[in-house]
Chain A
Amino acid sequence: MIQKELCRIIGQREIAADIYELTIKANLVKEISEPGQFVHIRVAKHDPLLRRPISISSYDKEARQLKMIYRKEGKGTTLLAEMVEGMEVDILGPLGNGFPIEEVSAGETALLVGGGIGVPPLYELSKQLKAKGVKVIHVLGFQTKSAVFYEQEFLQNGETFVTTVDGSYGFKGFVTDIMKDLQFDILYTCGPTPMLRAIEQKYSNKKLFLSLEERMGCGVGACFACVCKRPNDLSGVSYKKVCSDGPVFRAGEVFI
């Protein structure tokens, strides 16, 4: 069930250039069903008016803790980045459907591919897959060295390749350059739309799950702001909502 809760901030730190990790204490953690779900955060009364959708990067049900990683970019995330430990933040969640971990079995290999601020939700996924006995390989793409985060955390769960577009850290190039040499049974990915599109084109023969991003209004499926078309739809009117049907979709389910 989706909850609305005033949650206490128990930690906030900048982990890369303009990338923040926010930790909160929240009862709604018990409602999380899978990695890749998100929360909707209200950062101001009227300006900005709408909530910000932010993915859950990890959670601990026993400790009732939830971590989110976001990029300080617009007005809303700038206000959020100014909040400190002890303050309360209005959260709606958990929202959406995440990555299905039941699609892979112990002993199989999962490839997790993240781009930029699409990397965070893969962290909880990685933890849960490892705990299940799945071999996990990560390919994490960033723009430049100062934007890289969580490399050590991912390394604890499995082999991790980091790429930067400008070559200032790790491998120079895109995540797809690394992916072509890797063997795996299932592929989970989250990142910018051009990256998702490229991955879907190249790996449509694989078991593939993609997490999409879209501008949202309500976050619960009522406003129809974040709809996407379905492929091979002759009627032209069939759709999926990123917020409530997604944000994670099976390859081919929606038109990216």
Chain B
Amino acid sequence: MSKLNIELPGLKLKNPIMPASGCFGFGREYSQFYDLSLLGAIMIKATTVEPRFGNPTPRVAETAAGMLNAIGLQNPGLEKVVGEELPWLSQYDVPIIANVAGSVEEDYVAVAREISKVPNVHALELNISCPNVKHGGITFGTIPEVAKQLTWKVKEVSDVPVYVKLSPNVTNIVEMAKAVEDGGADGLTMINTLVGMRLDMKTGKPILANRTGGLSGPAVKPVAIRMIYEVSQAVSIPIIGMGGISSAEDVIEFFYAGASAVAVGTANFVDPFVCPDIIEKLPALLDRLGFEHISECQGRSWKEHGQRTYHRA
């Protein structure tokens, strides 16, 4: 019997491990390393109505135990994603979570309406938290009323459940989470990257052409854990947790904090095999910790002993 299967709105997952959006393209590059059907799900790269080139280079800079990126939502546009990338992914037995981005409300609505009709798209991830684009993105993710309104509009047109990706670059993330829950969100994904900057030793100027970028990697993990711990107690919708996960132990910690599934981001760049490796190692780790099923770990950091868990398949 599987110890890892999880059921969430729109998603029947073989296991709760999925690559995070922006860290896996549309899967093609990683399909040369392993069978993508091994994954619980795939969060594809953010899709906008029109193709985008993104920001000038340099787009990445390293920091201690992390990296800054400012890619700028480069993607081939809705038509190509729906016409080419998603059909290509349909050869794999894996549900797709489509990351939806835009500059104005109408963009999000247009992408959500079309992309949610594609058969292998089982859920949407509303990207209201990208720190690297001039318009849209994070502006929707820092004002609760705006986020709620956008969630509502996208829910109206989407054929599949809608998860909202929360930004850590806010004063009160619980307030944001409650607002999108009120807006009808079926789930949350968190956290997106933290806005940061690095300066060049010789020139004294920012290394990134965009000046600022989003910090990811092991360095942000404690921030993600704290935020999931707070939000999971304040809302009743499930959380897909992310932020610096690179091992099976990290996954368990996110479940303890209150996540019901997790996404692996930056670690894919370091080790292309990280997702299947984690999936392989989880059952033995659960045994060692005395759990029969991974859902028993969920919310352990704050739940009373013996309290029943949710979302078990």
A→B interface (CB under 8 Å): 1-2, 4, 42, 46-51, 92, 214-229, 235-237, 239, 244
Contact = CB atoms under 8 A, between A and B. Distances in A.
B53 to A, nearest CB: 5
Given A42-B270, A47-B65, A225 B59 contact: yes
7 contacts: A1-B32, A49-B62, A51-B270, A224-B25, A224-B54, A224-B71, A224-B74
Contacts of B61: 215
What 3 A-B pairs come out closest when comparing CB atoms? Answer: A218-B269, A222-B29, A237-B51
Contacts of A225: 57-60, 69, 71
A215 B59 contact: yes
A222 B25 contact: yes
Nearest to A226: B57
Given A47-B65, A50-B269, A2 B60 contact: no
Given A46-B217, A224-B74, 17 more contacts: A4-B33, A42-B271, A49-B270, A51-B269, A215-B57, A215-B61, A217-B67, A222-B25, A223-B23, A224-B71, A225-B59, A225-B60, A225-B71, A226-B57, A226-B59, A237-B52, A237-B53
Q: Is the interface of A mostly helix, strand, loop or mixed?
A: loop
Nearest to A216: B60
Interface of B: 22-25, 28-30, 32-33, 51-54, 57-62, 64-67, 69, 71, 74, 76-77, 217-218, 266, 268-273
Contacts of A224: 25, 54, 59, 71, 74
A217 B69 contact: yes
A236 B270 contact: no
Contact of A220 (B29, B58, B71, B74): B29
A234 B76 CA distance: 15
Contacts, number: 100
A228 B272 contact: no
Given A92-B272, A229-B53, A237-B53, A221 B69 contact: no
B71 A223 contact: yes
Contacts of B62: 48-50
Contacts of A244: 29
A218 B29 contact: yes
Contacts of A222: 23-25, 29-30, 268-269
Contacts of B23: 222-223
A216 B77 CA distance: 23
B28 to A, nearest CB: 8
B269 A217 contact: yes
A78 to B, nearest CB: 13
Nearest to A233: B53
Contacts of B218: 46, 49
B269 to A, nearest CB: 4
A217 B22 CA distance: 12
Nearest to A229: B53
A92 B71 CA distance: 23
Nearest to A218: B269
A89 to B, nearest CB: 14
Contacts of B66: 49
A50 B268 CA distance: 10
